[in-house]
Amino acid sequence: MPKELRVAVLGCGFMGRAHSNAWLQVNHFFPREHKPVLKVCVARPEEKDKLEKFAAAWGYESMELDWKRAIQRKDVDLVDVCVPNNMHHDVVIAAAEAGKMIVCEKPLAMNAAEGRAMVAAVEKAGVANMVSFNYRRVPAIALAKQVVDEGRIGRPFHYWATYNQDYTISADVPQGGMALWRLDVKVAGSGVTGDLLAHSIDTAEWLNGPIQRVTAHAETFVKERKHAETGKIEPVGIDDACLFLAIFKNGSIGTFVSTRYARGRKNYNTFELNGELGAVHFNLENPHLLDFFRYADPKTGQKIEDHLTGWQSIHVTNFEHPYMKSWWVPGCTIGYEHTFINGFADFLASLEGGPKFQPDMRAALRTQEVCDAVLDSAKKHQWVEIPS
């Protein structure tokens, strides 16, 4: 008999939808002992009408307008945190103290100090936890990890990361409110650094190891915006764009750039890792492809035949590719929503004796510390060391 995993999802916005879909679909494609049940969805009282529609659309058994009440319910096993960043700290600590398993959206917290308190709480409680850096579960990115771990890149030299969007260019876009809370520093903590570069940093350290120090510059192009809740023109405290240089522990160097002012770019998340024996390149806007340059045999170090050198584009849909044996026949792609399903499948497997899920909150704290260092460097205009 399947073991029910009774889930409370906090938040009924974009991520609430993505997570709800993943909980519903995971057992359809991955054989797991646990069967997620959408027990309760949670939002603020002023969102009651929206929450009712959300609950009906996704089949939740009940609703709550008080997250503290939802966490204390005895019929809830796992709390899924899809609320704005400024709530993560309090919700996670309360859920840990209530003995609940926890899934938390990224970034982990408003800052590393909050993150450390959250990690201490979940580790003291001994509860299973994960942070949803879902891009690790893109099959092509997982294949890049496999290629790097197999030694096919060799000694790494350069890491290049870009994460560009364009949805806040207009000065008429307000800040704050449920739709645009990411532009309100009091709710988001930071702009593109915590929202977009956090993904880039997590992927980079997963593929290429720890970043040791950074030097950064951040820019806010529109200095004032109307606040959606107060109607007043208020200063903008988040970073619209950020770029930084990084030095990795392995001696390689990195360049990271992110902006919400790249006209024409919607979710342009790319990375390239150049090494002595080869290179990999990925672009999220073509998520089924991994570009691979093979220069030398990792076993012998001998250069391959001249006429076979060059970039090859691998269509990551075969059964031997990460996650793809659980999906469709070779040649059929999967999409954004599947990355969350893949992640929850790995999390459930970790509850059933499989490998420990990564990134957990301790691993995500590492990303938070790098984000903090980037923002600190941008303020000080100097190199900043990352805590080891």
For every residue of 335-361, DSSP letters joined together read: -HHHHHHHHHHHHHHHHTTSPPPSS-H
pLDDT > 90: percent of the chain: 95
pLDDT > 70: percent of the chain: 100
Q: How confident is the model at residue 268 (pLDDT cuts 50, 70, 90)?
A: very high
Q: What is the pLDDT of residues 216-225, one digit of tens each?
A: 999 999 999 9
State yes or no: pLDDT of 1 exceeds 80. Answer: no
Report which of 25, 50, 28, 51 is spatially closest to residue 40, judged by C-alpha positions: 51
State yes or no: pLDDT of 198 exceeds 90. Answer: yes
CA angle 345/153/246 to nearest 5° reads: 85
Cα 32 to Cα 3: distance, rounded to the nearest angstrom: 9
Cα 10 to Cα 63: distance, rounded to the nearest angstrom: 10
Cα 284 to Cα 298: distance, rounded to the nearest angstrom: 27
Q: How confident is the model at residue 387 (pLDDT cuts 50, 70, 90)?
A: confident
CA torsion angle 122 128 131 137 (round to 10): 160
For the CA atoms of the chain, what is the radius of gyration?
21
| Mean pLDDT, residues 361-377 | 98
Average pLDDT of the chain? Answer: 97
Q: What is the pLDDT of residues 294-305, one digit of tens each?
A: 999 888 889 989
Whether pTM exceeds 0.85 = yes
State yes or no: pLDDT of 178 exceeds 90. Answer: no
Cα 18 to Cα 332: distance, rounded to the nearest angstrom: 21
Q: How confident is the model at residue 237 (pLDDT cuts 50, 70, 90)?
A: very high
